[in-house]
Structure 1
Amino acid sequence: MSPSKGEATTIEVDGREVRISSPGKVVFPEPGITKLDLVHYYLAVAEGALRGAAGRPMVLKRFVKGIGAEPFFQKRVPENRPDWIDTATLHYASGTSAEEVVLRDAASLAWVVNLGCLDLNPHPVRAEDLDHPDELRVDLDPMPGVAWGQIVDVALVVREVLDDHGLVGWPKTSGSRGLHVNVRIEPRWDYREVRLAAETLAREVERRAPGLASARWWKEERGERVFVDFNQNAKDRTVASAYSVRALPDARVSTPLDWNEVRDSHPERFTVPAVLARYAERGDAASGIDDPGAAGSLAGLLRLAEELGPAEKPPSAKDGSGRRSSSMPLIEIARTKTKPEALEALETWKARHPDVAALLHPADVLVDGMRGSSSLWYRVRVNLQHVPEGARPEQAALEADYDPWAGRSRPDG
């Protein structure tokens, strides 16, 4: 009998019983994928998913209200966990700590999916050594208006830079619009050194492909380029790992690829049903990522960092605050709790300024998901660089002014 939305069911995974609540709940209405379907998907690709996430503490990104609502981020492991769920205690840069889930097997994988985790967000360290990452993560994040072919061209430059410095990159779709390239490294360097190596890689990619790629941290300065997001290697940051299902209507999957198939691997091709078929036919394209001797050295990139010198810093504001002064004519439009609200506020502003809106390029509209205390909020800004100076509207009252820190302690800075 097919379980209903309201009934719980228990499945056996490698000799362990895992309770699945509301198994018939439809998580992805468009393809009709239920919660139990997601559990079975992850069990089918468990070897590959665990290759990316097992042994690593992870943040639980829980979509308890469905893909149409914002997730909340849970660092601390639930108190009522089974005794076979492993954990590790991480100490964050903020001075806080949290006992986080560490996946070890398929049963623990099914357990976190039952909590509402669609994608897996592990840290780049193993539980046995929390201070030295064994993975450098290259996140190729396209600005609006960037086509897939440009993302691929940048990925190939990334591969070239890695090859030149004795490192091997393993590509995968991000599950959204971009690409990730994971690099196994020897766990000899701390977070600061790994981030420096990643930033150096990004700067070198920009140097080799200046019209295609950007290492500029400030979004308004990137133009229609692919941002090589080196800050994903900072301490406390996590990235969706291999075979993660993303919260998009078509149930897209972050899918490992061979380099020779990257060019034709548009992200929308890799949905849950498609990846199930692909995995059954050929297995995991990243199966060799943990082979003996596969981990590389950061020595080459760190030498390049010394040759390049420090990255250029933006000018400071003239008010003595020490904050950055943008080189672009930015105005802020809205701060909202959800992305639909952000887009609605943007359309309201465009309706007020139709002549200005007509001059904006895709990359001039900046809709940013900002990490709050436990969930995302959204900031909308507009770069007026393509609007004649005399026609630029002044900063005005926000179309929406959500305060994500209301009733909470605002973080330093």
Structure 2
Amino acid sequence: MPSQSQFTQVGKRRIELSNLTKVLYPEDQLLKAHLIEYYFKMAPTILAQVKGRPLSFVRYPDGIGKESFFQKNRPNWAPDWIEHARLGQEEKDYVIVTEEASLVWLANLACVELHQMHSRSPHFERPDYIVYDLDPPEGFKFAALAGLALEFKGHLESYGYHPFVKTTGRKGLHVVTPIEAKWDFGEVFEVARAVAQPFVESHRGLTTLQIKKEHRGGKVLLDIYRNRTSQTIIAPYSLRGLPGAPVSTPLGWEELGSLENPSAFNLHSVPSRVKESGDAWEAMAAYATGIHTERKGASPTAKIVPAGRTYKTPAQLETYAKKRSFETSPEPLPAQTAATSGSAFVVHRHHASRLHYDLRLEQKGVLKSWAVPKGLPPRPGLKRLAVSVENHPLEYVNFEGAIPKGEYGGGMMWKFAQGRYEITKEKKDGFYFRLHSRELNAEYRMHNTKENQWLLERVDSPQKDWLQEQIEPMLAQPADQVPDASDYLFEVKWDGIRALIALDEGEVRIHGRNGLEITAQYPELVLADQSFRATTGLFDGEIVCLEADGKPSFGNVISRMQQRGEGAIGRAKASHPAVCYVFDCLYLDGRPIVSEPLNRRRVGWAAHRQRAAESATRVDGGRRKTRFRLSCERGGRRGAGAFGRGKGIRAGRHHGQAA
């Protein structure tokens, strides 16, 4: 039978797909089409982990259970846009995936498994993590392996590392410690051995470093040998060629102890897991450290001190100094230095006379700085003006505070994201760079158009588009009594309807709790320029129709939502005008902020709404009883919601308490 094929467009690439109905997982009746769909859906998350890494593949042309082969070399008939690099003594020609289309093309070749090297372009000779493969013998219970991994986590932390964990998609676990890409494979292997040996000696009855199975004696192999040159591990979120289509899945340490069977993570479950909970390894690179043998006083329990560099470059900071009066401004002095790794960055949200963001990248002992009026672009295809401004001292990476009015740049300066960055590609008129931080992990391009004017673009796609996808609001747990704890903030229950308001490049869209769009029903709320000091954002609130005495009417707000047609909507608006009380912000100008504690999100919200915008009353724990009773008894309101001050939120999850 002749091969059946069709063409599809993935980004800017036109790809031929063949034999889509071929069965690759016979027991699960999964087709090649399912394989391609999985890698396409998961591409943003997978690319965040493997982009720039040399890859090898396990291909199953006729499905699992039949002949397979491990492939390192790029096929000589690969399209020109597939990036590659010749590496190693044998000069293998490795594929380097850089875009969604790369993964789709590989999946079409029945590349079920992706195996990655431990280094990225352009530093192929220097790994950026150390991996420990916990390989159990047959019949070893997974719960026991998880317990051993948790003990090993504590051992690694005693050396100053920050370990991460994932399933292998088989029966084992990979424990990974991110490091700065400064040492070659030989040095990193010796570090891995120096760390692993004491643990194995203290767990002789359970673990071994013997690579040959016949010498392991039924013990768990703590495999450090994968840290050698040209060795690989199964990539995060790669499928395995096993029944059930298991996936090598990054985990949070808190969930490892309760995990009974890693086979729960498979082609069907992992995409929804990532959409709901995110990638447990997303911020891993932000926790990179030096190897412990290079740190001062390196020994277990030693405190990590980042490698610092001191530069005396008054000429580079002359403009910075002239513009500021340091007798009144709390900003760092030009001569003030900071301990950095040489690749520090910070993004500030600057509430000056005009709200803008400041991007600062460490280069040659100072922070090269750009003012970005509209904030970071949330996805590819959007360009932001970035204006080069004066260099700032390194200590500015740690600065957050209020610059007095009347001073240069007077206003509040918030740290929007802080961490380390790396240049991924140099261009004649600019550069590509990747940000690594707890708050933001993304890749951008900076393009110089003329003099001090640049264009900032996002290169990678986020796995979750907070502005254009359906996001479930956080749900509350019912409670009979109002909590007395002082670490709660309280919101009045206005007897309205829950709403998520998306602000996207000047356009406002409103969705109800069930995901139904209701923008047209409340035209008076679509006032982006009057309501928000932001370019993009996702806000959580309650739409209310108030009577003349200020009491909310649930019937009227529901009636408004049910109107159809321009005339009916206009008449309902005139008779029952609506307001929206916004009480939270989930996404803002280029990054989700749901992990920020509530009290920080609240202070930020007060700053990024316009004065004319309606905002819900804030009631702190110290004034709970009086304000709560007055709000409910006099205002005709149904109750209140209590939210932990120091907590982040999870969409769609019950959290906090409501009375």
The normalised TM-score by structure 2 is 0.43
- Structure with greater Cα Rg: 2
Give aligned pairs, total.
297
After superposition, where does 1:169-318 map in structure 2 within 5 Å? 169-265=163-259, 266-291=261-286, 294-300=287-293
Distance (Å, rounded) in 1 between the aligned partners of 2:214 and 2:294: 27
Distance (Å, rounded) in 2 between the aligned partners of 1:295 and 1:176: 27
Structure with higher strand content: 2
Distance (Å, rounded) in 2 between the aligned partners of 1:73 and 1:232: 16
Q: Which residue is equivalent to 1:136? A: 130
Distance (Å, rounded) in 1 between the aligned partners of 2:215 and 2:48: 36
The percent identity for this pair of structures is: 34
Distance (Å, rounded) in 1 between the aligned partners of 2:193 and 2:37: 38
After superposition, where does 1:118-133 map in structure 2 within 5 Å? 118-133=112-127
Letter in 2 for 1:242: P
Distance (Å, rounded) in 2 between the aligned partners of 1:202 and 1:20: 45
Q: Which residue is equivalent to 2:71? A: 74
Letter in 2 for 1:298: I
Deviations 1:93-148 (A, max 9, x none): xxx11221001111111111112211111111112012111121111100123111
Distance (Å, rounded) in 1 between the aligned partners of 2:136 and 2:293: 27
Question: Mind listing any 5+ residue stretches in structure 2 that lack a counterpart?
Answer: 301-659
Indicate if the aligned counterparts of 2:5 and 2:18 stay in contact, CA closer than 8 A.
yes
Residues 165 and 180 (structure 1 numbering): CA distance in 2 closer, same or farther, change over 3 Å? Answer: same
Q: Which residue is equivalent to 1:159? A: 153
Letter in 1 for 2:281: A
Deviations 1:29-61 (A, max 9, x none): 222211111111112111221122110111232
TM-superposed deviation, 1:18:
2.0
Residues 41 and 5 (structure 1 numbering): CA distance in 2 closer, same or farther, change over 3 Å? Answer: farther
Distance (Å, rounded) in 2 between the aligned partners of 1:246 and 1:17: 27
SS in 1 for 2:38: helix
Distance (Å, rounded) in 1 between the aligned partners of 2:84 and 2:142: 39
Letter in 2 for 1:230: I
Letter in 2 for 1:86: E
Q: Bigger CA drift: 121-130 or 275-284?
A: 275-284
Distance (Å, rounded) in 1 between the aligned partners of 2:188 and 2:155: 16
Distance (Å, rounded) in 2 between the aligned partners of 1:297 and 1:285: 22
After superposition, where does 1:35-114 map in structure 2 within 5 Å? 35-92=32-89, 96-114=90-108
TM-superposed deviation, 1:240:
0.6
TM-superposed deviation, 1:5:
9.6
Indicate if the aligned counterparts of 2:160 and 2:292 stay in contact, CA closer than 8 A.
no
Indicate if the aligned counterparts of 2:159 and 2:299 stay in contact, CA closer than 8 A.
no
Distance (Å, rounded) in 2 between the aligned partners of 1:167 and 1:207: 20
TM-superposed deviation, 1:283:
2.2
Q: Which residue is equivalent to 2:559? A: none
Distance (Å, rounded) in 1 between the aligned partners of 2:5 and 2:68: 22
Q: Which residue is equivalent to 2:596? A: none
Distance (Å, rounded) in 2 between the aligned partners of 1:301 and 1:267: 36
Indicate if the aligned counterparts of 2:24 and 2:60 stay in contact, CA closer than 8 A.
no
Deviations 1:348-389 (A, max 9, x none): xxxxxxxxxxxxxxxxxxxxxxxxxxxxxxxxxxxxxxxxxx
TM-superposed deviation, 1:16:
1.7
TM-superposed deviation, 1:228:
0.7
Indicate if the aligned counterparts of 1:201 and 1:301 stay in contact, CA closer than 8 A.
no
TM-superposed deviation, 1:286:
1.2
SS in 1 for 2:73: coil
Distance (Å, rounded) in 2 between the aligned partners of 1:277 and 1:6: 33
Letter in 1 for 2:288: A
Q: Which residue is equivalent to 2:539? A: none
Distance (Å, rounded) in 2 between the aligned partners of 1:89 and 1:97: 5
SS in 2 for 1:181: strand
Higher relative contact order (CA 8 A, sep 6+): 1
Letter in 2 for 1:289: M
Indicate if the aligned counterparts of 1:57 and 1:100 stay in contact, CA closer than 8 A.
yes
Letter in 1 for 2:262: P
Distance (Å, rounded) in 1 between the aligned partners of 2:16 and 2:299: 51
Match of 2:10 among 9, 13, 26: 13
Indicate if the aligned counterparts of 2:57 and 2:112 stay in contact, CA closer than 8 A.
no
TM-superposed deviation, 1:77:
1.0
Indicate if the aligned counterparts of 2:128 and 2:180 stay in contact, CA closer than 8 A.
yes
SS in 1 for 2:268: helix
Indicate if the aligned counterparts of 2:47 and 2:99 stay in contact, CA closer than 8 A.
yes
SS in 2 for 1:124: coil
Deviations 1:39-97 (A, max 9, x none): 111121112211221101112322223211342222221122122111111023xxx11
Q: Is residue 22 of structure 1 aligned with residue 16 of structure 2? A: no
Letter in 1 for 2:7: T
Q: Is residue 116 of structure 1 aligned with residue 81 of structure 2? A: no
Distance (Å, rounded) in 2 between the aligned partners of 1:136 and 1:298: 10
Letter in 1 for 2:291: L
Distance (Å, rounded) in 1 between the aligned partners of 2:132 and 2:160: 16
Distance (Å, rounded) in 2 between the aligned partners of 1:255 and 1:28: 19
Aligned-residue RMSD, C-alpha: 2.1
SS in 1 for 2:133: strand
Residues 244 and 286 (structure 1 numbering): CA distance in 2 closer, same or farther, change over 3 Å? Answer: same
Residues 223 and 82 (structure 1 numbering): CA distance in 2 closer, same or farther, change over 3 Å? Answer: same
TM-superposed deviation, 1:24:
1.1
Structure with higher helix content: 1
Q: Which residue is equivalent to 2:140? A: 146
SS in 1 for 2:250: coil
Deviations 1:262-309 (A, max 9, x none): 123321111110112212222212111133xx211212499679xxxx
Distance (Å, rounded) in 1 between the aligned partners of 2:76 and 2:183: 33
Residues 218 and 200 (structure 1 numbering): CA distance in 2 closer, same or farther, change over 3 Å? Answer: farther
Deviations 1:161-194 (A, max 9, x none): 2211111111111000011112211111111111
Distance (Å, rounded) in 2 between the aligned partners of 1:37 and 1:206: 42
Distance (Å, rounded) in 1 between the aligned partners of 2:112 and 2:299: 38
Distance (Å, rounded) in 1 between the aligned partners of 2:290 and 2:152: 16
TM-superposed deviation, 1:210:
2.5
Indicate if the aligned counterparts of 1:61 and 1:119 stay in contact, CA closer than 8 A.
yes
Letter in 1 for 2:292: A
Letter in 2 for 1:82: P
Distance (Å, rounded) in 2 between the aligned partners of 1:110 and 1:126: 21
